[in-house]
């Protein structure tokens, strides 16, 4: 008799548990719904992506983009704030229960690149960059990022009553860098309070080196810090036929370029972390037979370790001054720290790995090597724990290494990869909100 009573109680408990699972909005139920909701959002996401692609706008000039984003978010019933960091949009979704706050971020700006994809929705847009008219294209994938996050907003809005806590959607301008004389991007978003009350942040970037259905992640240093440097070498102008009567800043500059490369190849322990110094432009002189008075060089430094970054900066100053002095020239070097390392919080990455695997399948999620490209998502990660990951957009079966690179006129996105972006960000947000500390 006692055994029968115990069995009945167990059966009743299981029945109650099943009913509460079906009606109580548990994370398990929501997780099962996410795949269906993400799939249903695909037509809308593709439509939005094509609109943004056909109407690209440069950094700090994302007026139409921001208006479209704000209109869509308002239609979902979210609290929407515009004009953040010039053209940024922030939307807030308050769940039906109290809890933590998670932020999700997408960047909105395009690049001064002419499009040669041949797509029916290819860009023919023009823009003004520092006083010069340029062709404009979404040659990096920010159109996809914006559309994906709008899809996530649509998915999570339908689950509002069941969510504990708050989701903040950050649509950020100027990830590619503000125009000369302007401030912008993630650092300005942070300065203007975008992360107020936020406990963690997630973001993604489409990546041509990966196929549709794949997700790449990495704890710790994921993308490099980016610095900009300017070197001015001052010599003594003279006739090209008698270089000994002057000081040739062009020859000195050539020696400095070589010296900078020696810092990387001979003075930096690259087994600890990768590092790059690149001189991107050199300007000096007006005529073939005149040695000029001054040469200017502009370039970038990329590092994955902050101590190495400091040491490379020190050696750059020392090398520049020493080489110039040895030739009787003068040199000035200015190094501007533009973007820190995109650093994925170790513990947060560990906790969220199952979410990425749920979204894509464990066999499609893998740890990647760090890359020397930079991403201003790093400014958010300096304030709160963050996780940034890659989503593949090269067609399945195609050689991703042969796909047109980002920032080129032929850059192409297989739109079938957008659904995984929606699913992955949604899964991360939901799992984090339900996760116990």
Q: Which of 57, 175, 305, 375 is catalytic?
A: 175
Q: Spell 189-225 as b/e; 16+ CB within 10 A means b.
A: bbebebbeebbbbbbbbbbbbbbbbbbbbbbebbbbb
User: Tokens 């020859």 belong to which residue?
Assistant: 251
CB atoms within 10 A of CB 76: 17
Of 109, 162, 176, 431, catalytic: 109
Cα dihedral 210, 203, 81, 35, rounded to 10, equals: 70
Q: Which of 259, 262, 246 is nearest to 327 (CA)?
A: 246
> Rounded CA gap, 145 and 158, in Å?
20
176 carries an active-site annotation = no
Single out the residue of 204, 214, 215, 174 nearest to residue 339, CA to CA. 174
- Helices and strands: H and E segment counts in the chain: 10, 18
322 vs 82: CA distance, rounded Å:
50
Distance of CA 62 to the CA centre of its chain: 17
- Residue 175 a catalytic site member: yes
| Contact between residue 396 and residue 62 where contact means Cβ atoms under 8 Å apart | no
Per-residue DSSP letter, 363: G
Q: Which residue has the tokens 């196929």?
A: 211
Which residues, other chains included, contact 14 with Cβ-Cβ below 8 Å and sequence gap of 6+?
Answer: none
Active site residues: 109, 175
């Amino acid at each position: 008799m006692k055994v029968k009573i115990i069995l009945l109680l167990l059966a009743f408990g299981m029945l109650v548990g099943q009913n509460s699972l079906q009606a109580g909005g548990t994370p398990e139920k929501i997780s099962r719904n996410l795949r269906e909701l993400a799939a249903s959002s695909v037509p809308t996401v593709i439509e939005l992506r094509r609109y943004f692609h056909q109407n690209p706008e440069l950094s700090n000039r994302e007026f139409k983009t921001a208006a479209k984003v704000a209109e869509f978010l308002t239609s979902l019933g979210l609290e929407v704030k515009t004009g953040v960091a010039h053209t940024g949009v922030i939307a807030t979704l308050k769940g039906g229960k109290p809890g933590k706050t998670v932020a999700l971020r997408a960047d909105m700006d395009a690049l001064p690149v002419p499009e040669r994809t041949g797509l029916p929705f290819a860009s023919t847009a023009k823009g003004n960059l520092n006083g010069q008219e340029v062709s404009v294209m979404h040659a990096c994938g920010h159109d996809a990022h914006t559309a994906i996050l709008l899809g996530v907003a649509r998915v999570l809005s339908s689950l509002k009553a069941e969510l504990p806590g708050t989701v903040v959607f950050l649509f950020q301008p100027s990830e590619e860098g503000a125009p000369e004389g302007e401030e912008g991007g993630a650092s300005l978003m942070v300065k203007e309070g975008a992360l107020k009350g936020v406990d963690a942040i997630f973001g993604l970037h489409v990546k041509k080196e990966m196929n549709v259905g794949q997700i790449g992640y990495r704890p710790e240093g994921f993308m490099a810090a980016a610095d900009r440097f300017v070197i001015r070498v001052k010599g003594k102008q003279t006739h090209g036929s008698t270089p000994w009567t002057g000081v040739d800043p062009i020859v000195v500059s050539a020696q400095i370029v070589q010296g900078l490369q020696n810092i990387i190849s001979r003075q930096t322990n690259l087994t600890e972390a990768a590092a790059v110094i690149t001189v991107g432009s050199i300007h000096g002189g007006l005529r073939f037979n005149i040695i000029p008075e001054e040469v200017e060089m502009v370039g970038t430094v990329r590092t994955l370790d902050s101590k190495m970054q400091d040491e490379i900066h020190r050696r750059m100053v020392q090398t520049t001054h020493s080489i110039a002095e040895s030739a009787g020239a003068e040199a000035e070097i200015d190094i501007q720290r533009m973007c820190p390392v995109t650093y994925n919080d170790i513990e947060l990455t560990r906790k969220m790995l199952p979410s990425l695997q749920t979204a894509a399948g464990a066999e499609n999620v893998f740890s990647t090597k760090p890359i020397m490209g930079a991403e201003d998502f790093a400014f958010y990660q300096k304030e709160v724990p963050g996780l940034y990951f890659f989503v593949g957009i090269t067609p399945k079966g195609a050689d991703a290494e042969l796909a047109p690179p980002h920032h080129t006129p032929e850059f192409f996105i297989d739109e079938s990869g957008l659904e995984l972006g929606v699913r992955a960000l949604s899964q991360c947000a939901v799992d984090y909100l339900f996760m116990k500390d």
